[in-house]
Amino acid sequence: MRILLVEDDELLGDGLRTGLIQYGYAVDWLKDGQSADQALKTETFDLVVLDLGLPKLSGITVLQNLRARGQTMPVLILTARESVEDRVKGLDSGADDYLTKPFDLDELCARLRALQRRFSSRAEPLLVHDNICMDPASHTVTFNNETISVSRREFALLQKLLENSGRVLSREHLTQSLYGWGEDVDSNALEVHIHNLRKKFGQNFIRTIRGIGYMIDKSKEEK
């Protein structure tokens, strides 16, 4: 899952970035509203964590522009504790949730998981697909009731594919959701992760769609 973090406070931003990476997210951190607005026009993110008080362009404007373009990705806003007005304005401008500063990283991550579930129309916290069961909260996967060890990236890739089962995801989209800017990415990194997942969950589990990308079929129950 790739997150755009927009926060101008160096200390808070740095702590959040580090924490979110530890939780398995790919994180891109921007420090002003204008560059966030620009990035959101051109890049694909799964979630946005948006501070409202930002230089150059306010968080509210970034949010309003995003929704005006018809982009539906979940947005969690960060506000000052005393500012009820900001929270109301943020929610009315299309934010999906908010946290007031200071907050706990565990709570932020739980809220992000909840947003992700809602966004993929999934009330169940567990992601179940035939014999695979993923728990995004504990970062565990079982296959035929046995725990399978997967790397952070493999977990993120598997989750992305399962949440979009029945749909083809392009190589570019998948790579973007796994890596943030400035990360050194081998040109065949995605293929390596796909290869590893096939080894663990079966060769035919992930289909290659030539020239486009990859997909997992809908689970048997959904067909």
Binding site for Ca ion (CB under 5 A): 8, 51, 53
- Min dist CB 34 to Ca ion, Å, is 14
Specify the residue, 93 or 177, whose C-beta has the smaller distance to Ca ion: 93
Taking alpha carbons only, the member of 207, 196, 137 closest to residue 165 is: 207
Residues in CB range of 78: below 8 A, 6 or more apart? 7, 49, 50, 51, 52, 98, 99, 100, 101, 103
Give one word for 202, left, alpha or beta, with left for phi > 0 and alpha for psi -120 to 50.
left
Specify the residue, 8 or 217, whose C-beta has the smaller distance to Ca ion: 8
C-alpha to C-alpha distances, 196 to 57, 86, 157, nearest whole angstrom? 43, 46, 11
Specify the residue, 33 or 136, whose C-beta has the smaller distance to Ca ion: 33
- Min dist CB 53 to Ca ion, Å, is 4
- Min dist CB 109 to Ca ion, Å, is 21
> Residue of minimal CB distance from Ca ion?
53
Cβ pair 34, 163 in contact under 8 A: no
φ, ψ for residue 90, nearest 5 deg: -60, -50
Taking alpha carbons only, the member of 81, 37, 82 closest to residue 56 is: 37
Specify the residue, 97 or 217, whose C-beta has the smaller distance to Ca ion: 97
- Min dist CB 12 to Ca ion, Å, is 8
- Min dist CB 54 to Ca ion, Å, is 6
Q: Is the peptide bond before 55 cis (omega within 30 degrees of 0)?
A: no
Q: Kind and range of the H or E element at 29?
A: strand 26-30
φ, ψ for residue 20, nearest 5 deg: -65, -35
- Min dist CB 58 to Ca ion, Å, is 10
Specify the residue, 24 or 53, whose C-beta has the smaller distance to Ca ion: 53
Specify the residue, 44 or 58, whose C-beta has the smaller distance to Ca ion: 58
